[in-house]
Amino acid sequence: MTRTAFFISDGTGITAETLGRSLLSQFENTDFHLVTKPYIDTLDKARSLVGMIEATAERDGARPIVIDTIVDQSVRAIVAEAPAFMVDIFSTFLAPLEEELATHSTYTVGRAHAMGRDDVYMHRIDAVNFALDNDDGARTHQYEEADIILVGVSRCGKTPTSLYLALQFGIRAANYPLTEDDLDENGILALPASLAKHRHKLFGLTIDVRRLAAIRTERRPNSRYCSMDQCMQEIEQAEALYRRQNIPFIDTTRFSIEEISTRMMNETGLQRRFSPR
């Protein structure tokens, strides 16, 4: 069965979508068509959205799910007229919090995702720039400044994980690709000198062979780079290196970037560089 779910907000919609996806992920036997509608911040936009929800309900033969973080009460009143099952995130949690804290919420649109303190924002940007500058082994001389150095074969998820750590947690993450250039005279993958002195910062990534071959095929089809034999050899050598050097590592095949990052931080004890406002 397929149901349509709307994530609606008079701000960016990030909170509604993030929490909404988490809630809907618990229903594995239902397929959801997801629609995000941010900046529903006028009565006209609200009325237009109600029309869209009505058309969706008629098309699907079932009322859509509406998960919203609308602050403006007049806009919410119009959206509430739609033929949908409503999940009002803010009122669900803010009312009990107001009672506990004995004060009213300010109900500010977009507050959770505003720039906030300049120092926090600039630190996040600095961490992102560091991840970009130190992507794919570009500047090994800056590893002294890194909080963590991700290592692994090409296309196993090092770059997106580095950027997520930087953007979400302000962590300075570098990454280094393990290639045939790092093989010693016996054909064994060795730890490069640029990494050896920072071994305590290293964290390895690995991946299923078939998944790696599929990803590489999209990049360079019909090449040695994407062959099963090449992928198998590289992964086996990388995992052997991790074990010899006691480098912690994680299989990225079935984990999202969010899961990879939080598991990595939990295992290494790495702390975020800032606290969200």
Q: Tell me: is residue 210 an annotated ligand-binding position.
A: no
Q: Is 201 annotated among the ligand-binding residues?
A: no
Is 224 known to sit in a ligand binding site?
no
Low-confidence ranges of the chain (pLDDT < 70): 107-117, 274-277
Question: Does the annotation place 159 within a ligand binding site?
Answer: yes
Is 11 a known ligand-binding residue? Answer: no
Tell me if 156 is assigned to a ligand binding site. yes
Q: What is the pLDDT of residue 110?
A: 52
SS3 of the chain: CEEEEEEECCCCCHHHHHHHHHHHCCCCCCEEEEEEECCCCCHHHHHHHHHHHHHHHHHHCCCCEEEECCCCHHHHHHHCCCCCEEEEHHHHHHHHHHHHHCCCCCCCCCHHHCCCCHHHHHHHHHHHHHHHHCHHHCCHHHHHHCCEEEEECCCCCHHHHHHHHHHHHCCCEEEEECCHHHECCCCCECCCHHHHCCHHHEEEEECCHHHHHHHHHHHCCCCHHHCHHHHHHHHHHHHHHHHHHCCCEEECCCCCHHHHHHHHHHHHCCCCCCCCC
pTM listed for this prediction: 0.71
Structure confidence at residue 277 (pLDDT): 43
Residue 21 and residue 73 in contact, taking contact as beta carbons nearer than 8 Å: no
For tokens 């962590």, name the residue. 171
pLDDT given for residue 123 in this prediction: 84
